[in-house]
Structure 1
Amino acid sequence: MNTRYTALSITLVLLVAAVAPATAAAAPVSEDAVGDLTVTAAPASTAASAAAESTTRADGSDSIIAASDVAIIRLNASGIPAEADGDGTLVGDEVTVELTQTAASVDENASAKTLDVSADTEGVAVNATEDAVYVALDLQTTAFQQGNGTATAAAGDSFTAVTTVTDSVTDGENYTQQTRFGVVEPKVRFTDDVSEAVAGEVFNFEVATTLAPGTSLTFSLTSGHDAETGAATNVQTTVDENSRATAQFSFFTYEANEEYSITVAADGVELGNTWTGTTVAPATPENATADATEEPTETSTSAPGFGVVAALLAIVGAGALARRE
């Protein structure tokens, strides 16, 4: 009796063991499951591994990446294993990622920069979710092959990124997507003139930047044109999704005709620019009254010579009337 139950138990265990792998096996990735390929940016202060874990920046409108930032290549694809396979790799087996510098951006007498991303590529991290695969490249440290040597991405470079979901996880076909992105110099520029600010008032300084959204910027306002010797007032702000950042400064302690300088800095990025300006006196009630008094005079003289012409016409008209009489 016990022998029969033991044999039955062993049979059930063997059946479960035989069926379990088939049940756990993932369905092949179909062509419809492989979508667009996009490239976005993460701040320079973000480690590539952390950038690859972030799945919130999926907007594909950013095709320009600052040379100091982290480029995030996102392939919209569902069904790709989220964990590395048995040999410890995901990129290179299930998914391949290749970057090739476009011919138009290659310097004369130079070779194109290329990168065949693998699991051990320095400056690269990979993450897979239920609906996408992310490959993050720290552009400051990732070494591209160039001729017989290596080089990092530089401002002015542009690349074609090609990803392929291989037949190891598909229904027997390789599915490829590609996109392009350009590399630019990290910089900021003020959207308005900052050479003047009204003494005793509050002023908002807005910049547009090539740095990634989420980058922390530090604005420094210093009395005088020497930003290194004066006492600075610092304001920290963050680049928004529109690549803008705004800092507000008070000029309450400034007098008219006082010089000032402004610098903008970001962690891990060399920006280096200094902008200078001079405060101006605020409008006074006396000036406002004088302007209001002068306004009718300006209106009456807006058409020079009109009064003289009218007088001449009146005289001519009077003479004609006298002749008729």
Structure 2
Amino acid sequence: MNPRHTALALAVVLLVAAVAPATAAAPVDEDAVGDLTVTTAPATASAAAAAEAATASDATDSLVAESDVAVFRLNASGVPAEADDDGTLLGDELTLTLRQTASSVGVNETAKTLDASADTEGVAVRTTESAVYVAVDIATTAFQQANGTGTADAGDSFTATATVTDAVTDGENVTRTANFGVVEPSVNFVGGVDEATAGGTVEFTAATLLAPGTSLTIALAPGEGESRTTTATVGTDGRATGELSVDGFDAGEEYTVRATAEGTDLNATVTGTIQAAATETPASTPTATETAEPTGTSTSGPGFGVVAALLALLGAAAVAGRRA
């Protein structure tokens, strides 16, 4: 083939490839969009970190501490991981809105709302093959309220609405909703933490509404002197456990156990009194009466009384026969 013709043919192929439209991704089908659920991340996590760390195995939650990060997980496959040329993923292919429920709106107040977007402070988004995660830092994200702004407070409840828009579906919006409430950060000690025994340890269980992964600092302080501290991590069941030594504390001495957590206003305390260690009582020695063996005339043995009674009856019959 003529080299000039070859070069011309190659140029035509490259030109067609350059101007041909890119192959469009398959539209997201409604059946590929599952439930919307709410999970939480610790107050110390940024929205971006919370979205990045979220997994499909996280437990569903319906209560979010006002200091924590709420993570909304939409089970959906096929949603593009990157923004297209027309805008950003959050607010274009996917929308997320939060609206305060009427029952939690105060008297003479208006509902708080949030239309999350990529440039909303305290909001981050991440997609995987099977889900989309949107993290909202409850403590820092500004909600629209009337002509001003407000923050989500303890006692507020919201309906979250996630929509995969017609930008990536086959012409229809696909919407899913979930409800959640905002609560105060709290810790309650359970299991007798207020009755430590002298020379032993204080075993504690802290039940909390804080997000799993939250690190609690537990401090035990005597009436006078330095505190002893340890850390415990909140598990998926909302509980943190551990122990603190009370070695060197005297019986009757008062103490305080306090729980704190970075990034929260948490300050839970319990007071207690050191209990005296139990005194061991020596085992009693059996008396002579208690250890005496039965005599040979005893009839308390099994079956022995029956035999003796029968012999006595036979003897009485023999005597009566002789008298006759």
- Displacement of 1:20: 6.8
Amino acid at match of 1:213: P
Of 254, 258, 266 in structure 2, the residue corresponding to residue 263 of structure 1 is 258
Hey, what's the Cα distance between the residues in 2 that align with 1:51 and 1:161? 18
Equivalent position SS for 2:8: helix
Cα 1:61–1:212, aligned 2, differ >3 Å: closer, same or farther?
same
Amino acid at match of 2:237: N
- 1:13 is aligned to 14
Quick check: which has more Rg, 1 or 2?
2
8 A contact 1:58–1:74 mirrored in 2: no
Of 246, 249, 264 in structure 1, the residue corresponding to residue 244 of structure 2 is 249
TM-score, normalised on structure 1?
A: 0.83
Structure 1 residue 27 corresponds to structure 2 residue 20? no
- 2:44 is aligned to 45
Hey, what's the Cα distance between the residues in 2 that align with 1:149 and 1:212? 29
Amino acid at match of 2:155: G
Equivalent position SS for 1:285: coil
Amino acid at match of 1:239: V
Of 232, 236, 245 in structure 2, the residue corresponding to residue 237 of structure 1 is 232
- Displacement of 1:255: 1.6
- Displacement of 1:88: 4.7
Structure 1 residue 272 corresponds to structure 2 residue 271? no
- 1:319 is aligned to none
8 A contact 1:39–1:74 mirrored in 2: yes
- 2:167 is aligned to 168
- 1:89 is aligned to 88
- 2:53 is aligned to 54
Hey, what's the Cα distance between the residues in 2 that align with 1:128 and 1:7? 44
- 1:222 is aligned to 221
Hey, what's the Cα distance between the residues in 2 that align with 1:85 and 1:277? 61
Hey, what's the Cα distance between the residues in 1 that align with 2:121 and 2:184? 22
TM-score, normalised on structure 2?
A: 0.84
Equivalent position SS for 1:190: strand
- Displacement of 1:60: 4.5
Cα 1:113–1:121, aligned 2, differ >3 Å: closer, same or farther?
same
Hey, what's the Cα distance between the residues in 2 that align with 1:54 and 1:285? 53
8 A contact 1:40–1:58 mirrored in 2: no
Hey, what's the Cα distance between the residues in 2 that align with 1:13 and 1:190? 71
Equivalent position SS for 2:152: coil
- 2:141 is aligned to 142
Q: RMSD of aligned C-alpha atoms?
A: 1.6
For residues 198-257 of structure 1, give each alpha carbon's deviation from its aligned partner in whole angstroms, at most 9, with x where no partner exists. Answer: 111123110100100000000000111xxxx74011101110110000121112211211
Hey, what's the Cα distance between the residues in 1 that align with 2:188 and 2:263? 18
8 A contact 1:40–1:57 mirrored in 2: no
Equivalent position SS for 2:50: helix
Equivalent position SS for 2:274: strand
Cα 1:185–1:217, aligned 2, differ >3 Å: closer, same or farther?
same
Counting only pairs closer than 5 Å after superposition, residues 128-207 of structure 1 correspond to structure 2 as 128-207=127-206
Cα 1:107–1:140, aligned 2, differ >3 Å: closer, same or farther?
same
- 1:2 is aligned to 3
Amino acid at match of 2:241: T
- Displacement of 1:56: 2.4
- 1:283 is aligned to 278
- Displacement of 1:19: 5.6
- Displacement of 1:14: 3.3
Counting only pairs closer than 5 Å after superposition, residues 290-301 of structure 1 correspond to structure 2 as none
Unaligned runs of 5+ in 2: 285-324
8 A contact 2:94–2:162 mirrored in 1: yes
Number of residue pairs the alignment of both structures matches = 283
8 A contact 2:65–2:182 mirrored in 1: yes
